[in-house]
Structure 1
């Protein structure tokens, strides 16, 4: 809560504690600072919390499913699938720009729907290939996801090559991750997706604990392994798709948050899943506060700060795992 309040107070427009107290007390009078607080900073910080929580939950689910502390939703190609769908719509569907400008409903729902379609399609391809190729083990499924991720990244590169200058600038800034365009509508869409995903997977926490002992042991004690795979991957697809559609590609939050939680609280997924959401929200709010204030009045992409934090930590984890 201290980090959230600090993020709300700090910015080019000065906002005092009295403004926040007046808002909480219901004494809302029209002023420049209150307009900035209600229309810009509150939805932004709340959306950052929702996106960070979704990414933290995605990371903990991915690492639980693959029993690998270095696993990440991007390894499955899910994030790349959502990004590819957005790239195709930006570059090869110019009419989508008219649709976005034609109405508020389409403006706020088109990107999330397209991103979820791309991530869900990637999940479906992954599950279909695992069935056709008889990929029974988790490690085989992970290798298949890596191949799909490479394929999606290559197609994104092709889209960038075919884009014009304006499309290239727009897509490049979007791939770096930014929360500058979020609003109350974006926040409520994120909350709906987060509650749906959390409601489904929170019931699987004990089964994920059993899965940590291995496929054979989990099946022996009655865990439905194919069902866990499908439900978990689809929940990851839903949350990743919404996050990518709202803020672009923000990396490493889904990798770092569950790691910190396991160090502090252990590996019980009944604790790891909800606390990873809080940790992801905390990390992204801190990164977004730095992004919007260090270069004020301009703004830097938040993905730069998450990468600066996450890349060294990933190398540390990799070195620790090898030793």
Structure 2
């Protein structure tokens, strides 16, 4: 239902009947056909898959850290992508051998993805010393690298000109606009593959929640499990952030809501997070592009506006329950 409503609503309103006809057969109205197939459909597919990926990664990270406040940003994954995007915007035409000129529209997503993977590999190496992959070392490595990356981003922001500053500011707010099917297909493939990989780890994650010692006693390779969750989360988040910019709170809010409804069993929690994340980001995108027509509100602002009050409510309920 959300899919069809999002397809029909926007600056040009198209009825649900016309929308369904355009998806199934050729029509004479070329303008509406282009709006549906070239603008709205790629955007809606991207919002659903990115929302599903971020929510699933959030649930997996919360299980990995056994902490309901954990998300991929905790270990520097999102900031790694931000570093690549900012570096591409500010230095892409000078220090990187005309990187931006050669790749054109693809430069910022490619730069963000490669930077995120490089930062994640560095964090992985720091967190896997002496053959061990502990949560404490991973967390400390993520925090340290996150601080260093943010300092570099600050320096690049300081030396940027007015247009570059405007570009990187809007990128950091998140947006689903301007993407076409050919551009988003690699991202969709990576995110869907990582989500399937995390779904296959649902039973080991259930056992892991009891503690590492208990998981080892029943035959779970805890070190391998933690590495797999980290790798899937890093790839999925890198692909999502590279093409959409920073979109916060999806990986925090959706797992909380689904855990309250379904409980902590990851066999049901992870698929529910995929559905909930797709719904949340699709509705947020629909709201972002229709509330201030003809302008568009960055979707990161919408998700932050939803996430802030949500956590205040959760905090108040926690204190009231403690009393």
TM-score, normalised via structure 2 length:
0.91
Q: Provide the C-alpha distance between the structure 1 equivalents of 2:252 and 2:198, rounded to a whole number of angstroms.
A: 18
Matched, 1:260 2:263: no
Q: Provide the C-alpha distance between the structure 1 equivalents of 2:92 and 2:34, rounded to a whole number of angstroms.
A: 35
Matched residue, 2:56: 57
Matched, 1:96 2:99: yes
Matched residue, 1:191: 188
3-state SS of the aligned residue for 2:172? helix
Equivalent of 2:111, from 114, 120, 144? Answer: 114
Q: What displacement does 1:12 show?
A: 1.2
User: Would you say the 8 A contact 1:64–1:212 is kept in 2?
Assistant: yes
Matched residue, 1:290: 287
Q: Provide the C-alpha distance between the structure 2 equivalents of 1:194 and 1:136, rounded to a whole number of angstroms.
A: 24
Which deviations, in whole Å up to 9, do the C-alpha atoms of 1:15-67 show, x marking residues without a partner?
A: 11232232243233342222211111111111111111111111111111111
1:314 to 1:152, Cα distance in 2 relative to 1, 3 A: farther
Q: What displacement does 1:120 show?
A: 2.3
Q: What displacement does 1:300 show?
A: 1.1
User: Would you say the 8 A contact 2:56–2:251 is kept in 1?
Assistant: yes
User: Would you say the 8 A contact 2:39–2:178 is kept in 1?
Assistant: no
Q: Provide the C-alpha distance between the structure 2 equivalents of 1:120 and 1:96, rounded to a whole number of angstroms.
A: 18
Q: CA RMSD in A?
A: 2.0
Matched, 1:141 2:134: no
Q: Provide the C-alpha distance between the structure 2 equivalents of 1:119 and 1:35, rounded to a whole number of angstroms.
A: 34
3-state SS of the aligned residue for 1:151? helix
1:131 to 1:100, Cα distance in 2 relative to 1, 3 A: closer
Matched residue, 2:149: 152
Which deviations, in whole Å up to 9, do the C-alpha atoms of 1:123-154 show, x marking residues without a partner?
A: 22222222348976424532332232222222
Matched residue, 2:314: 317
Matched, 1:163 2:166: no
Aligned pairs for 1:1-323 (under 5 A) are: 2-94=1-93, 95-101=98-104, 107-108=105-106, 110-132=107-129, 137-320=134-317, 323=322
User: Would you say the 8 A contact 1:47–1:186 is kept in 2?
Assistant: no
User: Would you say the 8 A contact 2:85–2:111 is kept in 1?
Assistant: yes
3-state SS of the aligned residue for 1:180? coil
User: Would you say the 8 A contact 2:75–2:143 is kept in 1?
Assistant: yes
TM-score, normalised via structure 1 length:
0.91
Structure 1 unaligned residues grouped into runs of 5+: 102-106
Q: What displacement does 1:112 show?
A: 4.2
Q: Provide the C-alpha distance between the structure 2 equivalents of 1:224 and 1:318, rounded to a whole number of angstroms.
A: 35
User: Would you say the 8 A contact 2:4–2:19 is kept in 1?
Assistant: no
Which deviations, in whole Å up to 9, do the C-alpha atoms of 1:86-143 show, x marking residues without a partner?
A: 2112212211221133xxxxx44x5444333222222222222223489764245323
1:258 to 1:176, Cα distance in 2 relative to 1, 3 A: same
Structure 2 unaligned residues grouped into runs of 5+: none
- Decide which moves more: 170-179 or 22-31: 22-31
3-state SS of the aligned residue for 1:71? coil
1:81 to 1:133, Cα distance in 2 relative to 1, 3 A: farther
- Decide which moves more: 114-123 or 168-177: 114-123
Aligned length: 316
1:34 to 1:311, Cα distance in 2 relative to 1, 3 A: same
